[in-house]
Structure 1
Amino acid sequence: MFVGTYPGGKVFKYDPLTSKVTDYGRMIGAVSQEYIRSLAVIGDNIYSGTGHGQIVRYNMKTGEKEDIAKSINEPGHIYDLEKVDDRYLFARFELSSNGYIYDTQEKKWLDVTVPNVRGLHVEEQSLNNKIYFMSTDNKLRTVDLSTLKIEDTGIEYESGFRGVDWVEFNTPELPGKSLVTINFSGYVTIINLETKKVTRLPSLVQSTPTVMQAIEKGPDGNFYISGMQTAKGAQYNPVTGKVTSFNLGQADSMAPLGDKMLMGVYPSGDIRAYDPALPPSDTNPEKLFVLGESQNRIKTISSGGGKAFIGSIPFYGELGGALTVYDPQAEGEKYKVFRNVVQDQSVVGLAYKDGKVYGSTSITGGLGADPTAEEAKIFVWDVKNEKKISEISLNVEGIEKPNLIGELSIGPDGLLWGAVKNAIFALDPETLNVVKSKKIYPDGVLPADAWGSIDLKWSNGLLYADFTGGNLTAIDPKTLDSKKITNAYSFSIGDDGDIYYSLGSNRTLLYKIEVDPISKIKPIHITNSSFEMPLMNGTVPGWTSMFAADSEVQYSLSGEQYSKGIQSLKLVDASHKKSVALMSTPVKVNPGDVLKAETRLYLKEGLSSLMLRYFDSNGKEISSTPVHTEAGYNSWQPVTITAKAPERATSAKVLAYSTAYATTTSYYDNVKLSKLILKK
Structure 2
Amino acid sequence: MNARTRKGLSLLLSLVVCMAGMFLITPVQAADLLISNHSFENDLTGWTQTFGAGNPNGTLSAVTEQADDGTKSLKLTDNDPAGAFGLESAKLAAAAATTYVAYSRVYVTSGNADLYIRFYNSSNAYISGAFTSISTPSGEWTNIQVKMTAPANTAKVAVLLYSNKESVGTAYWDNVLISKEFTGLGVQVYDASPNGTTFGIGPNAHKAYGVVTGSGSHLPKMEVIDTNTESVTSVVTFPSGTTNPTGVWAAATSTDESIYFGAYSNGRLYKHTAGTTTISDLGQASSGETIIYDLKAGTNGKIYGGTFDSAAFFKYTPTAGFAQIGSKPFASGKNYIRALAYDATHDVTYLGVGANAAVLRFDNVTGETTDILSSAYSGISLPGSIDYTGDRVFVGIGGTMVVLKVTENPDGSFQSVATDAAVGATSHASPEHNGKVYFTNTGKLYAYDIASKTASNLGFDVGGRVKRFEWVTLTDQTGFPGKTLVGICAINNQTYILKYNPQNGMFRLAQVGGAAKIPGDLNMISTGPEGNIYTSAYLTGGIGIYKPIRGDGNDALEEVMHSPITQVDKMGAYNGKMYFAAYPGGNLYEYDPSLPWAGNVNPRLLVSTATQGQDRPKALAFGEGKVFMGTAAKTGAMDGALTVYNLTTGASTVHAGIVNDQSVIALAYFNGKVYGGTTVRGGYSTTPTTTAAEFFIYDPATGTIAKPPMPVAGIKAVTELIVVDNKIWGFADGYLLVFNPANNTFEYFEQKYTDVSYPNGTYRDADLVTVAKDPNYVYGTIKNTYLFKINKSTKAVTNIVTTGADMLTGDFFGNLYYKKNDSELWRYSY
TM score, norm. by length of structure 1: 0.69
**2:359 matched residue in structure 1:** 55
**Aligned partners of 2:418 and 2:676: how far apart in 1?**
48
Is 1:118–1:160's contact at 8 Å kept on the other side of the alignment?
Answer: no
The answer to whether structure 1 residue 75 and structure 2 residue 379 are counterparts is yes
**Aligned partners of 1:446 and 1:326: how far apart in 2?**
31
**1:637 matched residue in structure 2:** none
**Aligned partners of 1:12 and 1:240: how far apart in 2?**
52
Tell me: CA distance 1:316–1:445, structure 2 relative to 1, closer, same or farther (3 Å): closer
Q: Aligned AA for 2:403?
A: Y
**Aligned partners of 1:35 and 1:341: how far apart in 2?**
28
Shift in Å, 1:341? 1.4
**1:310 matched residue in structure 2:** 629
Shift in Å, 1:448? 6.4
**Aligned partners of 2:638 and 2:783: how far apart in 1?**
23
**1:240 matched residue in structure 2:** 550
- Aligned residue for 1:510, secondary structure, equals strand
Give % identity.
Answer: 25
Q: Aligned AA for 1:35?
A: Y
Is 2:681–2:760's contact at 8 Å kept on the other side of the alignment?
Answer: no
Q: Aligned AA for 2:728?
A: L
**2:198 matched residue in structure 1:** none
Is 1:191–1:197's contact at 8 Å kept on the other side of the alignment?
Answer: yes
The answer to whether structure 1 residue 392 and structure 2 residue 731 are counterparts is no
Q: Deviations over 1:493-535 (max 9, x none)?
A: 22222221222x331x2211112xxxxxxxxxxxxxxxxxxxx
Tell me: CA distance 1:360–1:154, structure 2 relative to 1, closer, same or farther (3 Å): closer
Q: Aligned AA for 1:203?
A: G
**Aligned partners of 2:583 and 2:738: how far apart in 1?**
31
Shift in Å, 1:445? 7.0
Shift in Å, 1:131? 1.7
Aligned match of 1:194 in 498, 503, 512?
503
Q: Deviations over 1:31-78 (max 9, x none)?
A: 4x7221111233543321023211123344544432221455442211
Q: Aligned AA for 2:790?
A: I
The answer to whether structure 1 residue 38 and structure 2 residue 354 are counterparts is no
**Aligned partners of 1:417 and 1:59: how far apart in 2?**
58
**1:168 matched residue in structure 2:** 473
The answer to whether structure 1 residue 415 and structure 2 residue 727 are counterparts is yes
Aligned match of 1:259 in 557, 562, 576?
576
Tell me: CA distance 1:30–1:290, structure 2 relative to 1, closer, same or farther (3 Å): same
Shift in Å, 1:444? 6.6
- Aligned residue for 1:174, secondary structure, equals coil
Q: Deviations over 1:175-208 (max 9, x none)?
A: 1221111111212222111222222343342433
**1:502 matched residue in structure 2:** 819
**1:130 matched residue in structure 2:** 436
Is 2:637–2:683's contact at 8 Å kept on the other side of the alignment?
Answer: yes
Q: Aligned AA for 1:39?
A: L
Is 2:621–2:667's contact at 8 Å kept on the other side of the alignment?
Answer: yes
**Aligned partners of 2:540 and 2:816: how far apart in 1?**
25
Shift in Å, 1:220? 1.3
Shift in Å, 1:281? 2.1
**1:404 matched residue in structure 2:** 717
Is 2:462–2:509's contact at 8 Å kept on the other side of the alignment?
Answer: no
Aligned match of 2:678 in 350, 361, 379?
361
Q: Deviations over 1:422-455 (max 9, x none)?
A: 2212122244433122222225777965212422
Q: Aligned AA for 2:560?
A: T
Tell me: CA distance 1:514–1:92, structure 2 relative to 1, closer, same or farther (3 Å): same
Shift in Å, 1:142? 1.4
Q: Deviations over 1:567-617 (max 9, x none)?
A: xxxxxxxxxxxxxxxxxxxxxxxxxxxxxxxxxxxxxxxxxxxxxxxxxxx
Is 1:246–1:281's contact at 8 Å kept on the other side of the alignment?
Answer: no
Q: Aligned AA for 1:474?
A: K
Shift in Å, 1:323? 1.1
Is 2:715–2:732's contact at 8 Å kept on the other side of the alignment?
Answer: yes
**Aligned partners of 2:826 and 2:342: how far apart in 1?**
47
**1:439 matched residue in structure 2:** 751
The answer to whether structure 1 residue 18 and structure 2 residue 18 are counterparts is no
Q: Aligned AA for 2:674?
A: V
Q: Aligned AA for 1:90?
A: F
Is 2:768–2:808's contact at 8 Å kept on the other side of the alignment?
Answer: no
Is 2:680–2:760's contact at 8 Å kept on the other side of the alignment?
Answer: no
**Aligned partners of 2:661 and 2:307: how far apart in 1?**
26
- Aligned residue for 2:659, secondary structure, equals coil
**1:203 matched residue in structure 2:** 513
Is 2:641–2:664's contact at 8 Å kept on the other side of the alignment?
Answer: yes
**Aligned partners of 2:470 and 2:495: how far apart in 1?**
16
Q: Deviations over 1:291-323 (max 9, x none)?
A: 341112111111123322111111111121111
Is 1:500–1:512's contact at 8 Å kept on the other side of the alignment?
Answer: yes
The answer to whether structure 1 residue 7 and structure 2 residue 320 are counterparts is no
Aligned match of 1:325 in 623, 626, 644?
644
Q: Deviations over 1:13-43 (max 9, x none)?
A: 2223333333533346544x72211112335
- Aligned residue for 1:299, secondary structure, equals strand
Aligned match of 1:113 in 407, 420, 434?
420
**1:593 matched residue in structure 2:** none
**Aligned partners of 1:444 and 1:238: how far apart in 2?**
31
**Aligned partners of 2:357 and 2:805: how far apart in 1?**
37
Is 2:589–2:606's contact at 8 Å kept on the other side of the alignment?
Answer: yes
Tell me: CA distance 1:72–1:449, structure 2 relative to 1, closer, same or farther (3 Å): closer
Relative contact order, CA 8 A, sep 6+: which one is greater?
Answer: 2
Q: Aligned AA for 1:367?
A: Y
The answer to whether structure 1 residue 374 and structure 2 residue 691 are counterparts is yes
Q: Aligned AA for 1:479?
A: T
Shift in Å, 1:150? 2.8
Is 1:7–1:35's contact at 8 Å kept on the other side of the alignment?
Answer: yes
Q: Deviations over 1:162-187 (max 9, x none)?
A: 11100122611111221111111212
Tell me: CA distance 1:417–1:408, structure 2 relative to 1, closer, same or farther (3 Å): same
- Aligned residue for 2:691, secondary structure, equals coil
Tell me: CA distance 1:71–1:334, structure 2 relative to 1, closer, same or farther (3 Å): closer
* Higher mean displacement: 299-308 or 241-250: 241-250
- Aligned residue for 1:326, secondary structure, equals strand
**Aligned partners of 1:91 and 1:453: how far apart in 2?**
37
Q: Where has structure 1 moved over 6 Å in runs of 4 or more?
A: 444-448
Q: Deviations over 1:198-251 (max 9, x none)?
A: 223433424333332111011111111112222521221104217332222211
- Aligned residue for 1:273, secondary structure, equals strand
**1:297 matched residue in structure 2:** 616
**Aligned partners of 1:366 and 1:156: how far apart in 2?**
34
**2:793 matched residue in structure 1:** 478
Is 1:111–1:148's contact at 8 Å kept on the other side of the alignment?
Answer: no
**2:83 matched residue in structure 1:** none
Shift in Å, 1:151? 3.0
Is 1:344–1:371's contact at 8 Å kept on the other side of the alignment?
Answer: yes
The answer to whether structure 1 residue 455 and structure 2 residue 767 are counterparts is yes
Tell me: CA distance 1:169–1:351, structure 2 relative to 1, closer, same or farther (3 Å): same
**Aligned partners of 2:331 and 2:794: how far apart in 1?**
50
Tell me: CA distance 1:237–1:57, structure 2 relative to 1, closer, same or farther (3 Å): same
**Aligned partners of 1:207 and 1:411: how far apart in 2?**
41
TM score, norm. by length of structure 2: 0.57
Q: Deviations over 1:87-129 (max 9, x none)?
A: 43211112x42422242635333342222252331223x1122
**2:108 matched residue in structure 1:** none
**1:581 matched residue in structure 2:** none
